[in-house]
Chain A
Amino acid sequence: MAKYIFHDHGGDGIDRRGFLKCMAWAGTGAFCLLQGGVLKSFSLSRLPRNLAALKGELSFVQISDSHIGFNKPANPDVTATLQEAVAKVNALPAPPAFVLHTGDLTHLSKAAEFDTLEQVLKGLNTQQVFYVPGEHDVLNDNGEQYRQRFGKETVGEGWHSFDQKGVHFIGLVNVVNLKAGGLGSLGQEQLEWLEKDAKRLKPSTPIVVFAHIPLWAVYPEWGWGTDDSAQALSYLKRFGSVTVLNGHIHQTMQKVEGNITFHTAMSTAFPQPQPGTAPSPGPLKVPAEKLRSVLGVTDINFIRGQHTLAITDSSLQD
């Protein structure tokens, strides 16, 4: 059933009703489909029967916020839930072309934590994993260790781009050199690189941008946004289809703004509260039997020629 926008106050293509509807499925699994510019959403329990027909020519998976090393009550065994996420990916009907990890691989940037993350992800039934760092991966050394291990092919602080089946992927870093009082930051050097990287592409090229902290103002009061994201997105305005995938907030959210679809993924480690519903964005403690319903992975499918992008969030419990 298509959902229509009743009040589009922000002029951003999503109203409060639609936003809350998408949010209501956070954790239980949501399926959002962009078709001809209209966002249609389904709960996982009421998926269209022809879902298999929606399979695109490129499918990949996003996982995020594994926080290896975290051991507090919100989830005393984050390695186990990451292993479950890997099993979930391996159980997909068709193996994904690759996996994107959108940062916070570790909790404290310790070598042993990176070791564990690497070991567990070796179990993925896929060719390759692409990374961007989270703020927890660049503690103490501004990301030196992270880049040596997970960002060998990257430029600057760890940003990079690559092409897969005609889709252009751009991994951005917005977690280093953060300024007092500010939000996530890309910085001038990276913005210049991005402008150059995008300039050579045809407007018909589908673009996927992935970065740790959201590139839209989800909730600046909690630091959930990026100071110079507007400039970065201005370089992508001329493209027909842009998808921005983020982590950091440990819950799913989606927003459509013109040609750009923003989406955040669940964590594989612990949930965080919905914006403004708690004194701080610290780890949200849920009953042990509910934990796996608020952790998960995101599966993304492209269908060329139909202007269709399908993003499916599934919890570890689904």
Chain B
Amino acid sequence: MRNLQVFSSATLAALLLLGFGLSATTLGRPAGPQEDSNDKYRIAIDNFSFTPASLTVAAGTTVTWVNRDDVPHTVVSTEKKFKSPVLDTTEQFSYKFTDPGTYEYYCSIHPKMTGKVIVQ
């Protein structure tokens, strides 16, 4: 019974890996700018954290944060460069990074939540 469970977990993991592989391939294909901003430059707010916590983008990129938690969060630049309104569940906020630099931000409601965007 135990062996069977291990086997199914391994299968599941393999399927998941395959799934990620496929989506990576999809992303690798030439795509319109619209699709890029939806997928590559999206930061998820989930379980009281920003994922990825550090994102590197080229200057001129628009980054979008999406709140997937059951509680509201905000995205606020530590150096007051940008500030989202309060994002309730499923709400999102976008900001276009025009100048190179490191932009640290946090959630002003739960300040333990921090992240950064590195613009090259």
Contacts and interface: CB of A to CB of B under 8 A. Distances in A.
B48 A282 contact: yes
B72 A139 contact: yes
Interface stretch (A95-103, A125-133, A178-186, A296-304): A178-186
Interface in B77-105: 78, 85-86, 88-89, 104-105
Nearest to B106: A180
B112 A72 contact: no
Interface string B49-83: 10000000000000000000111101010100000
Contacts of B69: 280, 282
A136 interface: yes
B70 A72 contact: yes
Scoring A107, A135, A183, A220 by chain B CB atoms within 10 A of each residue's CB, the highest score goes to A135
Judged by DSSP, the binding face of B is loop
B111 A181 contact: yes
A181 B115 CA distance: 10
Nearest to A179: B111
Contacts of B112: 181-183, 220-223
A181 B105 CA distance: 10
Given A108-B72, A139-B72, A279 B111 contact: no
Q: How large is the interface on A (under 10, 10 to 19, 20 to 34, 35 or more residues)?
A: 20 to 34
Interface residues on B, range: 20 to 34
B70 A283 contact: yes
Interface string A289-308: 00000000000000000000
Q: Which of A139, A140, A279 has the most CB of B within 10 A?
A: A139
A281 interface: yes
B88 A108 contact: yes
Interface string A100-115: 0000000111000000
A281 B109 CA distance: 13
A223 B111 contact: yes
A183 B70 contact: no
Interface string A172-195: 000000111111000000000000
Contact of B109 (A74, A135, A182, A222): A135
A140 B104 contact: no
Given A108-B88, A280-B48, A283-B71, A136 B109 contact: yes
B43 to A, nearest CB: 16
Given A108-B88, A139-B72, A183 B48 contact: no
Contact of A180 (B48, B85, B111): B111
Interface of B: 47-49, 69-72, 74, 76, 78, 85-86, 88-89, 104-106, 108-112, 114
26 contacts: A74-B70, A107-B71, A108-B72, A108-B88, A136-B72, A136-B109, A139-B109, A140-B85, A178-B108, A178-B109, A179-B111, A180-B105, A180-B114, A181-B106, A181-B112, A182-B112, A183-B111, A183-B112, A222-B48, A223-B110, A280-B48, A280-B49, A282-B47, A282-B70, A283-B70, A283-B71
Given A139-B72, A139-B109, A280-B47, 16 more contacts: A72-B70, A74-B70, A107-B72, A108-B86, A108-B88, A135-B109, A135-B110, A136-B72, A180-B76, A181-B106, A223-B110, A280-B48, A280-B69, A282-B47, A282-B70, A283-B70
